[in-house]
Amino acid sequence: MLKYFLLMIGLLTGVWGSLHAQDTVAAPLRWDLQACLDYAKKNNITIKNLRWDARSSEQDLLQARAAKLPNLTASLSQSVVNSNNANPVVGGFQTQANASGNYGLSSSWVIYNGGYLNNDVKQKNILLESAQLNVQQAENDITLQITQAYLNILLQKENIVYLRELVNTSKSQLALGKQRFDAGSLARKDYLQLEATLANDEYNLVTATNAHRTNLITLKQILQLPSSVNFDVVQPDTLITDQSLVSLPEAVHAAVQSRPEVKAGELGVQSAELGLEKSRAGALPTVSLGAGISSGFSDNQDLKYFNQLNNNFYQRLGVTVSIPIFANRINKSNIERSKIQIEQAKLSLQGTKTTLDQAVEQAYINAMNAQAQLTAAASQWKTMQESFHITNEQLKLGAFNTVDLLTQKNLYVQALQAYVSAKYNSVLNKKIYEFYAGAPVTL
């Protein structure tokens, strides 16, 4: 009996643990905006590839630094030569195999090459910084995408709340209309209009629910979450919609000073200038120091192995000067191409600054327009809400007019949807403008 009792406890524990594990897996992820941003910056495939590009640039920098140091090469060779040799004693030929070996160490060190190696190190360092800035720019792009998708979800969540209230109101109106229809004080046509209104409100609620699901899928795709993940977002307590914006000149100045695309453009000019110095180094002499030691042996000599190594031990030390005299215009063409690349890099930087200036100005205009729309939409919604409330109270008191009720309700729904849309549009455009000005995105 004790064995059966323990067995039952084990089975029940295993079943409970399995069910608990399933509940844990099925529990939805509920992330706020910051959690979404942190996850995307860490796991986004594009950003991860750019980080690997930066790691590759880091290796290029280490290689450029190592090129300034002397190298060292060892060589060892062991060979056996089989040949036919004449035999002076018995005449004819005999086969004889001889073994030999050669060993050596050699090193070379570039002492002067017109500053090529130093400029190459500087250029590789700039390219590494530029690769890291590309990571930051990709993070900025995905930050705006996630923020917009996140706010779209919140918009639909609020829409669903208001539409549910409308459905409940329509149900109450239909129940009141049913009482009056049964009492004979309401025409069948008016009662059917109340039923149609409820059906339309329920349809709008379903549409908003589907839009909410679609926006959740959009955010999941941006985050690159698997389809099996049950995901939802955290609704913030409040959304700040006030319009305390920094001035446009301040925002433009801050954007130029902080945006990674501008810094990358400036580094591009510096890299092109160093490329010109490297091209000029190709027309200058190169001075290198070389050294080496070597020895060898052969078994066709009477001396022993180590005696041969000692006798054949050679040391070499020398200086080589390479002076380019005529290089088929290679160096001159490289110099001219480098000058062209400098001008192209300057134009690219100018274009980046111009594009950024226009983007910041457009973000400022969008933020101001969105705030104005929010103010007007809030006023309209308040008016229509009061009017719809009065009409609904009149319905309860018996002053029933289906046309007025439906008209006021349609106006109220339109004003409500305009207000909710304007509120989130205002928040989004303000966040975009502040992000250009260097402020982090928070809700």
Q: Which CATH architecture group holds 32-68+113-284+329-436?
A: Up-down Bundle (1.20)
CATH no. for 71-81+95-112+290-323: 2.20.200
User: What pLDDT is recorded for position 304?
Assistant: 87
Calculate the CA dihedral of residues 135, 139, 140, 145 and round it to 10 degrees. 140
Confidence of residue 5 (pLDDT cuts 50, 70, 90): very low
Sign, Cα dihedral of 432, 433, 435, 439: negative
Mark 346-384 as b/e (b = at least 16 C-beta within 10 Å): beebeebbeebeebbeebbebbbebbebbeebbebbeeb
Contacts 24+ apart (CB under 8 A), 235-238: 235/154, 235/157, 236/32, 236/33, 236/154, 236/443
Residue type, 199: A
Q: Nearest to residue 53, comparing CAs of 172, 134, 148?
A: 134
pLDDT tens for each residue of 71-111: 999 999 999 877 666 566 555 556 667 788 999 999 999 99
Mean pLDDT of 261-267: 96
What are 201-235's pLDDT values in tens digits?
A: 999 999 999 999 999 999 999 999 998 888 899 98
CA–CA separation, 127 and 167 (whole Å): 60
> Would you say residue 144 has pLDDT above 70?
yes
Tokens of 430: 């303000």
Query: Domain-by-domain residue ranges, the chain?
Result: 32-68+113-284+329-436, 71-81+95-112+290-323
Mean pLDDT of 413-425: 91
User: β-pairing, 231-233 with 29-31?
Assistant: parallel
Distance CA(368)–CA(155), nearest Å, equals 20
Asked whether the predicted pLDDT for residue 293 surpasses 50, the reply is yes
Residue 397's pLDDT band (cuts 50, 70, 90): confident
Contact 101, 79 (CB under 8 A): yes
Q: What is the mean pLDDT of the chain?
A: 87
- Please choose, from the candidates 410, 423, 409, the residue with its C-alpha nearest in 3D space to the C-alpha of residue 379: 423
Does residue 7 have a pLDDT over 60? no
Selected residue with higher pLDDT from 74 and 410? 74
**Nearest Cα to Cα of residue 212 among 426, 416, 39, 420:** 420
For residue 224, the SS3 value is coil
412: CB partners within 8 A, 6+ apart:
384, 385, 387, 388
Q: What's the CA gap between 141 and 189, in Å, rounded? A: 55
The residue written with tokens 């290198």 in the block is 288
